Amino acid sequence: MGTGEGAGASSYRAPVADIVEALEAAGLWELLALPEFAHLDRPTVEQVVGEFGRFASEVIAPTDAAGDSTGSRRDDRGGVVTPPGFKEAYRRYVDGGWGGLQFPERYGGGGFPWAVAMALQEMFASANMALSINAALTHGAAELLLQWGDDRQRETYLPRLVSGHWPATMELTEPDAGSDLGALRTTATEGPDGRWRISGTKIFATWAEHDLADNIVHFVLARAAGAPAGTKGLSVFLVPKRLLGPSGEPGVANSLRCARVEEKLGIHASPTCVMEYDNASGELVGPLHGGLPAMFTMMNLARVSIGAEGPAVGERAYQQAYAYARARLQGRRPSTPPGERAPIIEHPDVARMLLQVRTLTLASRMVVYAASAERDMARYGAGEAERRSGEARFGLLVPIAKAWATDQGFLASSLALQVHGGSGYLEEAGVAQRLRDSRIGPIYEGTNGIQAIDLAVRKVSRDGGRVMRLLGDDIMATVKVLPLPELGPTAQALEEAHEALTEATAWVADRYTSSPDDVLAGATAYLQLAGATLGGWLMAKRALVARGEGLKGGAGAGEEGSRAKVAAGESNFFAVETLSDAPALLRRVTAGAGRLAPLRDWRPGPA
């Protein structure tokens, strides 16, 4: 039975074999060799992925369609009521201990790598993207406290965040401060008791009010009285929905409220709140006026989790489109028996779309896992050099994982909808929800345009392209060992893409100081080039993993071919359909800002 066979509009089957294989291609073996993870082995990882996969498919996924149609709603008293089934599913997630796989055991976590936790996060998002964001934010907040909180804060809050008993939020955005955080106005004033009073309005605050838990821990970026202007004057404050009583349990309500829940295109079950803080009681986390680096601890991880939404939505859309394409009969093929019609999957153009959805999903999944694995290396690498390399590569990969993967997720859901023809445009088929849900990925957690600038300017220009070049060396090392002719198209396209990326990197690094606008105008193309090249590299590595293991069965393996053959074919398909854009992307990177002149010179005509 192929992946997704029998998948109805609302069902999801976790692709456990694909996920474990993707983890292997993205560096699982290197992680399991680290002393920190000596207690783990591949079977344990496979077991955890399999168990959570079952939980996501059987418990979480059934809540997804109702979440979309009902949405989370604000009630008359300012509370937010989640859709039917959410409370029960979330309770089972917490009770099952799934919230804290990647956190230290001393706080109730499982001591697993972030990379494995990211695989779980992806399955969560496939099953119900709207609900999964609550978990992603809570993970980011827990990491923020782990790194920047004091002992008391860690002891008080971490066990509750790690278990998911108290979910967390990340509140940066204000009406006048979106991409430009330096403009934010929320204030914090220190009281005589050492606690801070927070006042202001936050917008677009995800899961900032709901009925899933008896407390919510808000992480609010604000400007303390007397702080310098701009981003250097920002601090992070922990502001609980209900203040803790003497025993540490939630007590009286804090002075904050959800003033509105927004109506929006997708992720209807994820409440997007306008939050008003009116002298709310909070505590400082990390250094005063040094909040941005602390917030970045949370944001970087949240960005990778948002990246995981790309393959998450792509996977579910693929399962739906594959099942549909096998069942829907239209037209004929030369092999169709007289008097019968062909399932549309047999038409080459439909097969192309399905393979495109599948390979974009596979590649973006591995880019996200590879970024997470570098995060683990940065933290637990065997020596100083390995940790520093992990840190630098993580920094480089975060914007790529976030932006490239979410772009592919949207493209994949659009193609999966196209496979359905007119039915896809109707809500009944369920694939329209994928398109609507996936559209947020390129916007929130820093738009993809902002990610591209982060990559080109902060990550590449600043170090003269050094870390990207080192990654390029690894890519070429893989090209050299690719078996021919099986992976011939992959080897050729990957070598060309590597060449284009090397040239683009040198250009970006050289050009930024003298002509920043030239680089900014091509930043998105640069990120797309980097994403496609990394994706192609990981597809090639996955094909090698499948060969080495001689894996059989599971998604994608047909009776006639081994899994290795399918993986090689998928890599070659990606090389032809996606990686071959590399030379065109290089031209777009280096075209300069002059091409934007028509917009500057254009004027609207008379009405």
Ligand X SMILES: Cc1cc2nc3c(=O)[nH]c(=O)nc-3n(C[C@H](O)[C@H](O)[C@H](O)COP(=O)(O)OP(=O)(O)OC[C@H]3O[C@@H](n4cnc5c(N)ncnc54)[C@H](O)[C@@H]3O)c2cc1C
Q: Cite the active site residues.
A: 445
| DSSP one-letter code for 271 | -
**DSSP structure string for 86-126:** HHHHHHHHHHTTGGGTTS-GGGT-----HHHHHHHHHHHHH
SS3 62: helix
C-alpha to C-alpha distance for 434 and 315, rounded to whole angstroms: 10
Q: Which stretch binds ligand X (CB under 6 A): 95-103, 198-206, 222-230, 246-254?
A: 198-206
CB of 365 to ligand X, least distance (A): 23
Q: Which stretch binds ligand X (CB under 6 A): 121-129, 166-174, 240-248, 250-258?
A: 166-174
At CA 75, angle to CA 73 and CA 77, rounded to 5? 150
> Of all helices (H) and strands (E), which one includes residue 569?
helix 563-577
Q: 549-556: long-range contacts at Cβ-Cβ below 8 A with a sequence spacing of 24 or more? A: 549/21, 549/24, 551/17, 551/21, 553/17, 554/16, 554/17, 554/18, 555/2, 555/3, 555/15, 555/17, 555/18, 556/2, 556/3, 556/18, 556/358
Greatest distance between any 2 Cα atoms in the chain? 87
C-alpha to C-alpha distance for 149 and 169, rounded to whole angstroms: 16
Q: Which of 20, 15, 12, 49 is nearest to 128 (CA)?
A: 12
CB of 206 to ligand X, least distance (A): 3
Of 134, 138, 173, 320, the one binding ligand X by CB under 6 A: 173
Decide if residue 170 touches ligand X (CB under 6 A). Answer: yes
Nearer to ligand X, 345 or 456 (CB): 456
Decide if residue 366 touches ligand X (CB under 6 A). Answer: no
SS3 257: strand
Of 171, 283, 518, 570, the one binding ligand X by CB under 6 A: 171
Could you list the beta-strand ranges (E) of 119-249. Answer: 168-171, 187-190, 196-206, 217-224, 234-240, 242-244
Q: Which of 318, 311, 294 is nearest to 364 (CA)?
A: 311
Nearer to ligand X, 69 or 179 (CB): 179
Query: Applying CB under 6 A, what is the total number of residues that bind ligand X?
Result: 20
Decide if residue 94 touches ligand X (CB under 6 A). Answer: no
Type of residue numbered 104 = P
Cα–Cα distances in angstroms (integers) from residue 70 to residues 12, 66, 77, 144, 347, in the given order: 20, 6, 19, 33, 37
Q: Which stretch binds ligand X (CB under 6 A): 41-49, 74-82, 167-175, 182-190?
A: 167-175
C-alpha to C-alpha distance for 244 and 253, rounded to whole angstroms: 9
Q: Tell the residue number behind the tokens 């790309």, with chain if given.
A: 310
CB of 231 to ligand X, least distance (A): 13
C-alpha to C-alpha distance for 62 and 68, rounded to whole angstroms: 11
Nearer to ligand X, 85 or 140 (CB): 140
Site for ligand X in 542-561 (CB under 6 A): none
CB of 442 to ligand X, least distance (A): 9
Of 243, 244, 443, 591, the one binding ligand X by CB under 6 A: 443
Residue 329 φ then ψ, to 5°: -105, 125
Nearer to ligand X, 41 or 517 (CB): 517
CB of 372 to ligand X, least distance (A): 20
Site for ligand X in 256-295 (CB under 6 A): 264, 272
Residue 123 tokens, joined = 């399955």
Of 149, 409, 446, 472, the one binding ligand X by CB under 6 A: 446
Nearer to ligand X, 309 or 486 (CB): 309
Nearer to ligand X, 392 or 523 (CB): 523
Nearer to ligand X, 440 or 579 (CB): 440
Decide if residue 457 touches ligand X (CB under 6 A). Answer: no
CB of 139 to ligand X, least distance (A): 14
Of 450, 457, 506, 593, the one binding ligand X by CB under 6 A: 450
Q: Which stretch binds ligand X (CB under 6 A): 64-72, 170-178, 311-319, 399-407?
A: 170-178
Decide if residue 178 touches ligand X (CB under 6 A). Answer: yes
CB of 440 to ligand X, least distance (A): 5
**DSSP structure string for 396-443:** HHHHHHHHHHHHHHHHHHHHHHHHTTHHHHSGGGSHHHHHHHHTTTTT
Task: Tell me the residue number closest to ligand X, measured at CB.
Answer: 178
**DSSP structure string for 193-220:** TS-EEEEEEEEEEETSS-SSSS--EEEE
Q: Which stretch binds ligand X (CB under 6 A): 82-90, 185-193, 443-451, 565-573?
A: 443-451
Other C-beta atoms within 10 Å of 264: how many? 14
Decide if residue 205 touches ligand X (CB under 6 A). Answer: yes
307-336 mask for ligand X (x: CB under 6 A)?
------------------------------
CB of 451 to ligand X, least distance (A): 9
CB of 582 to ligand X, least distance (A): 24
Of 90, 93, 204, 324, the one binding ligand X by CB under 6 A: 204
Q: Which of 159, 153, 156 is nearest to 138 (CA)?
A: 159
Decide if residue 516 touches ligand X (CB under 6 A). Answer: no
Of 134, 206, 492, 502, the one binding ligand X by CB under 6 A: 206
CB of 178 to ligand X, least distance (A): 2
Q: How far is CA 128 from the centre of its chain?
A: 14
Type of residue numbered 382 = A
- Interface residues with ligand X (CB under 6 A) are 170-173, 178-179, 204-206, 264, 272, 440, 443-447, 449-450, 453
